[in-house]
Structure 1
Amino acid sequence: MALPEYIRGCQNRVDEQLKRHLPDTSQVSERLVTAMSYSVFNGGKRIRPVLVYAASEAVGGKQAPADPAACAVELIHAYSLVHDDLPAMDDDDLRRGKPTCHKAFDEATAILAGDALQTLAFEVLTSKHHELPDPIRLQLVRELACASGHSGMCGGQSMDLNSVGSPLSQEQLQLMHSHKTGALIRASVVMGALASGKVEKEPLTHLIQYANAIGLAFQVQDDILDVTADTELLGKQQGADLALHKPTYVSLMGLKDARAFASSLCQQAIRSLESFGDQAIILRQMAEYVIQRSH
């Protein structure tokens, strides 16, 4: 199957699953559930759910057992973007070409929507609507919690905020982004493999190496797009990182070397999958997609 077709299939699949889990009405706060839905169904590429499904298939699993993990990582991602856009963080007005949640609603509603999406992710993983064995559920919960908290995404975001206007070495920048961006991408791959119920220690080690490489490549490409893509295509304000004086791979290495670095990370990811057969072809293609995307 061609990658665009595979991505569309995964997008449709996870969207249908997300619709089942997101409330469509509320006796408590209709505004809150509307903001939650707005933040999830606002045109996301669903890269993380695609990685969940592809990793499950790479170790011989099916898509259905990976549905809870695919939904959970996307809910965490959606929550993180809502909070990332807040005035106290990056203070962004646009996300995916639409007003950010706090602009479309208000700041308090955006905070609560993010909180609710975060907790919904763990509710999905523990829901009895899915037939995952309890030991696997526990592994998935732990993996997502570690990737989301102080030792993962939140820790990386804190490093990012504290580094504004400060020069960082490439090693420091890499450490920051391995947490802020890479942790959830790594969790997506690992959770997909775990959900299969088939993964063994050595293949999982190779998948983690793959995920670490594409997680970093994803951020390098984001930094490149911040200076090369226009606002309409990017879906958010072009040059926002530059305006905020954030350290980026482009500011540190220059555009040409940043592109070369992204390409080397892509090849590193693909080499990590040498022991996998054709079942990992989508993961290989996703490594290339990550650095070729235009938004």
Structure 2
Amino acid sequence: AAMSDKVVPIDSFAADIFGFSEYLQSLLDQELLNFIARHALSSKLADAVHYVLFPGGKRIRPLCLATLLVDCGGNVVSAVPAALSLELLHNASLIHDDLPALDNDELRRGRATCHKVFGEATAILAGDCMVSLANMALVDSTVSPALSLELSAWHSRAYFSLCDGQQLDLDGAASQEALLELHARKTGALFGASLASAALILQFSDEVVKQFAALGQDLGIYFQLVDDALDQFGSDSQRGRAGSSDSRNDKQTLFRNHSEYDAGEIVNGRRSSLYSAVGQLEKHVQRSFTLFRGVLDSLDRRLEDCLPQVLDKAI
């Protein structure tokens, strides 16, 4: 089926990030199904890819891309090829991250991980396959060759950085500086590519593309800190897995290496700088990031659920 070219007006969502998120998830699910169906895979590999992608997680990287795009006057449907690419890369990294050789996780999003269902060999192949599919999502789309090349370059660099960050994770980063650098690479790079993608689709200048990418990296670091807080203090239902994966694998996090108060101070500092950067970029492009701020609010609520004393309500 061809991708819909229907323009969904921003007014239909106003500041309703939940309504927008549901709409985007439905759109992406359908486009992912269509895209995977167009590329013939052997049945077991196709089953593994489908298992990982559906039902998906929060689709937060595509959500960040789409909210900023719409906030800046773009058509949400124009985000779809880049959104598919980002979601495929992210899920490929999760398959590999969960393997016994890395995090050895048996649960992801509340159910058995890919390698527990399909075996390690097929899980590895599924992850590799999805990295290729991510690039094909851009190349095989209606995106102009020039834009496709730029998006592919950003996404490839981000995945390269993610792999480098995973190695830092395996090496056991311990200091605050090392942990933040790890987060910048392993999580921040793909968020940076998500926001850079929005700026590229909007045909913003190279300077603004880099500013969007920097904002995305800051967001990725904050997202990872929230995730670490959930892992340390959240319930199994909040985590979507049994027990603390970081504790089980003896991984260092800010919340394991610092007192709760000191870790809270660090998180608040990152959060303050993130909101400040959002405000500066809004002024620079003369747009209000209404929907995007809704994404930030949802992250704040996740943090508040497991560690309410961390949030500084003054922001």
Partner of 1:160: 169
2:29 to 11, 15, 18: 15
Query: Residues 217 and 291 of structure 1 are in contact (CA less than 8 Å); yes or no, is this contact kept in structure 2?
Result: no
TM-score normalised over the length of structure 2: 0.85
2:297 counterpart SS class: helix
Q: Partners of 2:162 and 2:32 in 1: how far apart?
A: 22
Aligned-residue identity in percent:
33
Give the superposed CA RMSD: 1.9
Partner of 2:130: 117
Partner of 2:5: none
Partner of 2:8: none
Q: Partners of 1:105 and 1:131 in 2: how far apart?
A: 34
Give the partner amino acid of 2:42: S
Residue 277 to residue 3, structure 1, CA distance change in 2 (3 Å): farther
Q: Partners of 2:111 and 2:231 in 1: how far apart?
A: 17
Alignment of 1:7-46 (within 5 A): 7-23=21-37, 26=40, 29-46=42-59
In the alignment, structure 1 residue 258 sits paired with structure 2 residue 263: yes
Q: Partners of 1:11 and 1:254 in 2: how far apart?
A: 38
2:117 to 101, 104, 129: 104
CA deviations over 1:98-142 (Å, ceiling 9, x no partner): 100001111111111111111100001101xx3222111000010
CA deviations over 1:16-63 (Å, ceiling 9, x no partner): 11111113895x621110000001113311001101112222433211
CA deviations over 1:223-270 (Å, ceiling 9, x no partner): 100111122331113211012111101012233333343333233222
Partner of 1:67: 80
Give the partner amino acid of 2:26: N
1:213: Cα distance to partner? 1.7
Q: Partners of 2:18 and 2:71 in 1: how far apart?
A: 18
Please identify, of 170-179 and 280-289, the stretch whose mean Cα deviation from structure 2 is larger: 280-289
Q: Displaced runs of 4+ in structure 1, greater than 6 A? A: none
Partner of 1:4: 18
Q: Partners of 1:131 and 1:286 in 2: how far apart?
A: 28
2:37 counterpart SS class: coil
Q: Partners of 1:270 and 1:155 in 2: how far apart?
A: 27
Please identify, of 275-284 and 238-247, the stretch whose mean Cα deviation from structure 2 is larger: 275-284
2:278 to 252, 273, 277: 273
In the alignment, structure 1 residue 193 sits paired with structure 2 residue 193: no
Give the partner amino acid of 2:175: S
1:13: Cα distance to partner? 1.4
2:181 to 171, 175, 183: 175
2:252 counterpart SS class: coil
